[in-house]
Structures are given as C-alpha cells and as structure tokens.
C-alpha cells in the first residue's frame, strides 16, 4: 500500500516512501501542540484527531515488520499569552509570576491531555514542554549567530531573513504578501521588517531564563526547531499543524533548522489541516460560538465528536454543526446495533480491508474510507441472517462447511463484521464499547419497576418524581408500546 500525502512544500501528493532518505524502520512525525493557558476549543481538536489517525495508519503500515514510528507533539508553555495570564493571576493571588506561570501551564496541559484522550487519541511517544528545552534553544540560537544567520540588537536576537535565500519557499508568497499577511512587527532594531525574534529580554514581572544575551525568553518558532532536533534529529518525515501555522511559524522553523543543519531539509512532508468553523461562522469568543472540547464532551460521547471530525477531509474547511453531530451519532448507533446483532466472530481472522486502507493511504481520505464502511455495513444481510448463522456456526464452526447452501451470506456477515471492526479501530473508533451509564443498571431497573407500579396505581405524581430523579442523574426514560426503555442523556 503506497502512502501518499499532500505536501504543502511541493503542492502535490508525494509518496512518502519515494522521498530521499525515508527509512521505513524509523518513521518520525512532529505536530505543533497547544499553547497552554486556557481550555482547548474544538478547532484545536482537529489537528489532534487528524494526526492521530495518521499516527495509527503509520503504525499499521510500518510497525508490522518491526519498524518504529515516533510521534512528537509539543506543549508550548512559554508564550506571551501565557505570560499575560500569569501576570493577572500573580497579581490576584499575590504569588510570584513564575509560580503562576507554572501552575497555569501544568493545569491546562493536564486538561488538554484528558480532553484529547476522551476523543480517542493515543498519547504521542513524546510530549516535550518548551520549558524543558530552553538550553537546546539557546544552543541553537548561538549556532545561528555564529553562522551569520542571526544578530543581536538591543537585548534581542533576531533571525536575518536575508541570510536564507529560499526564505518563503513553504508559503510561496512574495515578501510584500508575507509582510501584509503576518502583520509584521516593525521595530527599530530590526534590519529587515521580516526578521523574526529568536530571543527577547524579560523584565522582572515576566518569566525569563539566563542566557548569553541576558535574562529573557525564546521566541515561539525556535521552541519547535529545538524540540524537533532534540527528539527527532535533523531531518524527519512529517511535520504537521493547522493551516494558520504555515506562515510564519513553519516557514520560520524551516529557516532556523535548515540554517543550522547545513541546508538539510527539516521535514520531508509538510501537512496542514483546514480550519473549523461553527454553524457557518468563524469561531470567536466575541461571536459567542466558541466551543471548548470540555463543554462538547458534556453533551456528546468522544467518539461521536471524533467521527464527526473525520467525515470531512482534513484539508477542507469543516462546518461544525449540531445537525451533523446528530447524523454522526445516528450512523455510529446503527453500526453498533448491526455489530451487536451479528454473530460472534471469534476465530474469524481477516486482514485489514484493502479498499478502506487504500482510501486512508490516499492523503487520509477519511470521507471515502467512511463510505467504504457504509458499504461493509450494508452488505451481507446483517440483521436477518443472524439467527441462522448462529445456528450453523454453532454446529460446524466458522469456515468448516463448504458447500452448505445459504451459508455464504452468513460468513459474509462475519467477514464484514471483522473487517468493519478492524477498519474502525484504525481510525480510533470502537463502536462495541458501550458507554457506561452514569447510574448502576440495577438502580435504573429498580426505579423503572417502581415507576411502573406507581403508574399502575395511578400515582402519577410519584411516577413523575421517579422520572425526574433519573433525568437529574442523566438517564432519560422513554415510554413506548412495548414498555419503558431508557437511554443515557446526550
């Protein structure tokens, strides 16, 4: 299976294995992680889910024969937005700013890891924090100064973009466009307005670290260059992040890393996910449509959020709507029911479905892969043959009954079931895992029985009280012709 990925650097789909220096035994991916000062929003979840699917696919393709996939996603815990939040907290609590910074970033990083775990994302192999790599950043900046790619001015160290002749090769923009797009900060100490900060001075109220240029802090771009070099080496395979990071962040990472690495490329493939908007509008606090992952998880299971994200191709913009979430939930519920109603398939070993894997290997085409899942679930008379299949499998064992008329359908069900479960696992979804109800089953059953007794005795007040009590605990009762059923409140 040839893995092709759209490469922002070449503006086409590149076959990973054909790129010079690719080593299938040592596949390496770096994704820019969160800046930790507040809850992550659902837009931030997009790169995490997309690159988690890629991580799983890489493991599937390359770890079979003993290869190793290494996934690094950093945590940016040095940043001026964090510093602003830390200054407020320090003043409010009367604690040192450094303590406030440490507390905010530790708590936010933990929230983030809990949120993305609830979305079914595997932890990366390494989750470096910028604060742990300041020494490496300073060393890299010193190399840039020594090589003539950077200069010191008024306590700052700046990267000299005129020293890198192909600066702008990722964004492919003219200098004018770059300047307009990036709202470049003009400062008197810069030789060129496009020059960007590698190190800047910190005053007493701002977190800082000692350096050859005085107490200060690194710029954001050098953080990723240093952590990437420390954990993945000079050149690695895939570098990812949201499309907003292409310029200036990734362009500047390239400029820094290639300058200290004698022109060796930083990443073979650069990947960027498209942006997420909400109900047709840009997500913004001022528009009141800013949704955190945490809030969504109160209303929806993590796998519905994940599946909903994957129904759109990662490079397309995604419109996050309530309606689409409901559709995603319905699809997963239908698939779960089909899987539960099909016979057990112990011993039915199938390889990964070729068609599904081919779609994923074509630039992570998750919408096409999901269509293939629909095909698998719609073929083979899932529900109606169940009893018959159970009977036959019970007496013969799977696959041992060639020639038995009518058996093919049932074995199709089994093969499709096994394929569907394996395919779903490859995108991080396990529809067979039932969500735990928030109340013990026994209690629900007892309460439903008590309510039925109350209704029979025409004590509707008591019946309603029981219904409301369960609702408050997250269980919705539904009265139908066949009796009362319940479901977990969404």
The entry of ligand AMP, Zn ion, none that residue 259 binds, CB within 5 to 8 Å by partner kind: none
Tell me how far, at minimum, the Cβ of 264 lies from ligand AMP, in Å.
24
Which residue's CB is nearer to ligand AMP, number 244 or number 299?
A: 244
Q: For ligand AMP, which residue has the nearest CB?
A: 242
**Sites of contact with ligand AMP (CB under 6 A):** 32, 34-35, 43-44, 46-47, 241-242, 244-245, 273, 275-276, 283
Q: Annotate each residue in 305-344 with x if it binds Zn ion (CB under 5 A) or - if it does not, as one string.
A: ----------------------------------------
Which residue's CB is nearer to ligand AMP, number 274 or number 399?
A: 274
Which residue's CB is nearer to Zn ion, number 27 or number 226?
A: 226
Pairing of strands 150-153, 68-73: unpaired
Torsion-angle region of residue 394: left (phi > 0), alpha (psi -120 to 50) or beta? alpha
User: Which backbone phi and psi does 24 adopt, to 5 degrees?
Assistant: -60, -15
Which residue's CB is nearer to ligand AMP, number 156 or number 250?
A: 250
Which residue's CB is nearer to ligand AMP, number 240 or number 380?
A: 240
The entry of Zn ion, ligand AMP, none that residue 120 binds, CB within 5 to 8 Å by partner kind: none
**Which residue bears the tokens 């209303």?**
299
Tell me how far, at minimum, the Cβ of 79 lies from ligand AMP, in Å.
9
The entry of Zn ion, ligand AMP, none that residue 244 binds, CB within 5 to 8 Å by partner kind: ligand AMP
List, in sequence order, the alpha helices (H) in 264-361.
293-299, 302-310, 322-341, 354-361
Which residue's CB is nearer to Zn ion, number 7 or number 257?
A: 257
- Residues in contact with Zn ion, total (CB under 5 A)? 2
User: Which backbone phi and psi does 15 adopt, to 5 degrees?
Assistant: -80, 115
The entry of ligand AMP, Zn ion, none that residue 35 binds, CB within 5 to 8 Å by partner kind: ligand AMP
B/e letters for 210-227, b = 16+ CB within 10 Å, e = fewer, are: ebebeebbbbbbbbbbbb
Tell me how far, at minimum, the Cβ of 232 lies from ligand AMP, in Å.
17
User: Which backbone phi and psi does 404 adopt, to 5 degrees?
Assistant: -75, 115
Tell me how far, at minimum, the Cβ of 97 lies from Zn ion, in Å.
24
Is the Cβ–Cβ distance between 34 and 76 less than 8 Å?
Answer: yes
d(CA 110, CA 259): 35
Tell me how far, at minimum, the Cβ of 274 lies from ligand AMP, in Å.
7
List, in sequence order, the alpha helices (H) in 70-191.
80-93, 97-118, 134-146, 175-181
Which residue's CB is nearer to Zn ion, number 45 or number 224?
A: 224
Which residue's CB is nearer to Zn ion, number 29 or number 342?
A: 29
The entry of Zn ion, ligand AMP, none that residue 224 binds, CB within 5 to 8 Å by partner kind: Zn ion
Q: What one-character DSSP code corresponds to residue 249?
A: I
32 binds Zn ion (CB under 5 A): yes
**Which residue bears the tokens 């309603």?**
464
Q: Is 210 helix (H, G, I), strand (E, B) or coil?
A: coil
The residues with which 71 forms a beta bridge, in sequence order, are 29
Is the Cβ–Cβ distance between 128 and 75 less than 8 Å?
Answer: yes
Structure-block tokens of residue 414 = 């089994």
Tell me how far, at minimum, the Cβ of 363 lies from ligand AMP, in Å.
17
Q: How far apart are the first and last CA of the chain?
A: 39
Tell me how far, at minimum, the Cβ of 43 lies from Zn ion, in Å.
16
Tell me how far, at minimum, the Cβ of 241 lies from ligand AMP, in Å.
4
Residues that bind Zn ion in the complex, under the rule CB under 5 A: 32, 224
């Amino acid at each position: 299976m040839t893995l092709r990925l759209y490469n922002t650097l070449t503006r086409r789909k590149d076959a990973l294995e054909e790129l010079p220096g690719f080593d299938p035994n040592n596949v390496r991916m770096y994704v820019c992680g969160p800046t930790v000062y507040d809850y992550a929003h659902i837009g931030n979840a997009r790169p995490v889910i997309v690159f988690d699917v890629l991580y799983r696919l890489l493991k599937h393709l390359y770890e079979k024969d003993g290869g190793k996939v290494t996934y690094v996603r950093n945590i940016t815990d040095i940043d001026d937005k964090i510093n602003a939040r830390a200054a407020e907290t320090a003043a409010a609590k009367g604690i040192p700013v450094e303590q406030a910074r440490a507390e905010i970033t530790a708590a936010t990083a933990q929230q983030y890891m809990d949120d993305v775990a609830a979305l079914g994302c595997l932890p990366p192999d390494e989750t470096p924090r910028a604060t742990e790599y300041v020494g490496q950043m300073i060393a890299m900046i010193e190399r840039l100064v020594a090589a003539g790619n950077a200069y010191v001015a008024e306590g700052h160290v700046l990267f000299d973009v005129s020293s890198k002749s192909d600066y702008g090769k990722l964004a492919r923009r003219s200098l004018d466009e770059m300047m307009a797009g990036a709202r470049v900060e003009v400062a008197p100490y810069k030789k060129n307005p496009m020059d960007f900060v590698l190190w800047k001075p910190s005053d007493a109220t701002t977190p800082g670290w000692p350096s050859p240029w005085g107490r200060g802090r690194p710029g954001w771009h050098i953080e990723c260059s240093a952590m990437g070099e420390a954990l993945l080496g000079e050149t690695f395979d895939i570098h990812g992040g949201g499309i907003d990071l292409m310029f200036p962040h990734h362009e500047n990472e390239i400029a820094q890393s290639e300058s200290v690495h004698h022109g060796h490329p930083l990443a073979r493939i650069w990947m960027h996910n498209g942006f997420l908007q909400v109900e047709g509008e840009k997500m913004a606090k001022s528009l009141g449509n800013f949704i955190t992952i945490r809030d969504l998880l109160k209303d929806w299971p993590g796998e519905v959020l994940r599946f909903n994200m994957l129904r759109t191709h990662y490079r397309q913009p995604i419109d996050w709507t309530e309606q689409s979430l409901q559709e995603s939930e319905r699809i997963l519920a239908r698939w779960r029911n089909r899987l539960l109603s099909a016979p057990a398939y112990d011993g039915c070993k199938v390889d990964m479905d070729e068609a599904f894997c081919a779609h994923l290997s074509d630039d992570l085409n998750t919408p096409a892969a999901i269509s293939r899942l629909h095909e698998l679930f719609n073929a083979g008379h899932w529900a109606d043959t169940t009893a018959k299949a159970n009977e036959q499998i019970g007496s013969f064992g799977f696959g041992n009954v060639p020639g038995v008329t009518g058996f093919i359908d049932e074995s199709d069900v089994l093969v499709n079931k096994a394929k569907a479960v394996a395919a779903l696992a490859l995108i991080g979804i396990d529809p067979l895992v039932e969500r735990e109800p928030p109340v013990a089953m026994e209690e629900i059953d007892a309460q439903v029985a008590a309510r039925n007794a109350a209704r029979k005795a025409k004590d509707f007040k008591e019946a309603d009280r029981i219904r409301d009590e369960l609702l408050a605990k997250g269980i919705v009762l539904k009265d139908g012709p066949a009796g009362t059923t319940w479901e977990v409140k969404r």
